[in-house]
Amino acid sequence: MKRIFFSTLIIAAIFTSCSSDDDAGTPISENVEAPATYTFERDGQSTVSFSGQTTRILMAGELVSAFNDFDNATQESLQNMFAHVEGAEDFSDPDLNASDKSVRSKTAASKDFFGANATESSQIKATFDGYIATQINEVFPNQNVAATPGVAGQIADGSSARYVTGNGLEMNQTFAKGLIGALMADQMLNNYLGTAVLDEADNRENNNNDVTAEDKPYTTMEHKWDEAYGYLFGASTNAANPLQTLGEDDAFLNKYLGRVEGDSDFAGIAQDVYDAFKLGRAAIVAKNYEVRDAQAEIIREKISEVIAIRAVHYLQSGKTAIENQDFGAAFHDLSEGYGFVYSLRFTRNNQDDMSYFSRSEVDGFIEDIMTEGPNGLWDVTPATLDAVSTAIAAKFDFTVAQAATTD
């Protein structure tokens, strides 16, 4: 029995030594244990840092709020908030003004999707510039005009007034929900979680040898993973343990992961994402890049699903409101749906490392929604909204009915 046991140990040792990282040529741990919270330290000092992501979330929040500041906002002021320059007094928060970060610079700027596609990146940035111009030049002059087909103005949604373009779009909603894909998801899924960024240059070698970035307690690879985390949890009250306030901490990806989590059909998705972030970060510390990449795939799948679920949800909510002839509610929901449909371009399918939806598919969805008649959302029919919803859900493992029931 002792000889058999000893032989087993030898075999296990050989197996473990063969389970090495081919690039580094050093053994890696077979087992990676995630911490209870997103807390990582080196020599007693936290190695977690994502301040740039927190800053951009706060900038984006203030910018979206300013879309309806009829007394003070101008095209120039909104554009300056979008493309902030260090030191410019664009925000109410002095720390944001002092920052060298901007929202526009990271919009459609992922290495995987746009590193070699500057043309489309520029076009997407210009689309968001256009949302700002439309709000100021079309909606602002008609603040006190009743919206009618082809005429911008305000329209009642219960006790709220919505301000829409002549084709029914509420531009602050379209801008905000589009940014969830073009900024938050794109940077997370297609930039910081990609091997082109995580393993860039000598990142893997330095991580293997615990060589930290200059004057920093973290390795570059650790920091890149944290930056992905920051686009989801960077504004959380307790960023190390963020699920306690999920959905309350910002109006972007965090909010809508919370909304999807709140539906019994999708309960547990937030924990899956959080656990994958923790385990992936622990795997980087353990130099286990196989586990790291597996967690990145989980995050890509789940976050892509969140965007698709919310796109379908808002299209279906808008459909119900149209059927009830409640156009204020319909335009609000469909404007959010428009933004989430636009965000589908930035999802990531692990099967081919491409978006779940090509640019032409997304453009086709938007064309179907906005050109059924001459006045955009005033003319769209429930049948068209059902058709687009079905096409989106078909790429995933949820049904239109499941997505429609989320809050």
Residues 6+ apart with CB under 8 A from 308: 344, 347, 356, 392, 393, 395, 396, 398, 403
Q: Which residue has the tokens 């008609």?
A: 142
Report which of 305, 252, 341 is spatially closest to residue 65, judged by C-alpha positions: 252
Instruction: Give the pLDDT mean for 252-277.
Output: 98
The CA distances from residue 170 to 67, 103, 109, 312, 381, in Å, are 10, 20, 25, 18, 18
374 — pLDDT class (breaks 50, 70, 90): very high
Instruction: Give the pLDDT mean for 370-394.
Output: 98
Instruction: Give the pLDDT mean for 163-182.
Output: 98
What pLDDT does residue 15 have? Answer: 34
What pLDDT does residue 366 have? Answer: 98
Q: Is the dihedral of CA 235, 405, 356, 118 positive or negative?
A: negative
Q: What percent of the chain has pLDDT over 90?
A: 92
- Contact present, 19 and 30 (Cβ < 8 Å): yes
7 — pLDDT class (breaks 50, 70, 90): very low
- pLDDT, one tens digit per residue, over 350-369 is 999 999 999 999 999 999 99
- pLDDT, one tens digit per residue, over 129-140 is 999 999 999 999
Is pLDDT above 90 for 84?
yes
What pLDDT does residue 20 have? Answer: 37
What pLDDT does residue 167 have? Answer: 98
Residue type, 161: A
Report which of 225, 227, 219 is spatially closest to residue 55, judged by C-alpha positions: 227
Instruction: Give the pLDDT mean for 56-77.
Output: 98
Tell me the two tokens of residue 262: 């709140």
Residues 6+ apart with CB under 8 A from 164: 139, 147, 152, 153, 154, 155, 170, 331, 335
SS3 of residue 46 by DSSP: strand
Q: What predicted TM-score, i.e. pTM, was given to this entire model?
A: 0.92
What pLDDT does residue 30 have? Answer: 62
Average pLDDT in the chain: 93
**Cβ count near 35 (within 10 Å):** 14
Residue type, 231: Y
What pLDDT does residue 219 have? Answer: 98
What pLDDT does residue 407 have? Answer: 76
| DSSP code of residue 161 | E
What pLDDT does residue 238 have? Answer: 98
Is pLDDT above 60 for 278?
yes
Report which of 154, 185, 178 is spatially closest to residue 70, judged by C-alpha positions: 154
Whole-angstrom distance, CA of residue 80 vs CA of residue 133: 12
Whole-angstrom distance, CA of residue 219 vs CA of residue 329: 48
- pLDDT, one tens digit per residue, over 198-248 is 999 999 999 999 999 999 999 999 999 999 999 999 999 999 999 999 999
What pLDDT does residue 343 have? Answer: 98
Give the up-direction half-sphere exposure of residue 3: CA atoms within 13 A in the CB hemisphere.
0
Instruction: Give the pLDDT mean for 48-68.
Output: 98
What pLDDT does residue 17 have? Answer: 35
Instruction: Give the pLDDT mean for 153-178.
Output: 97
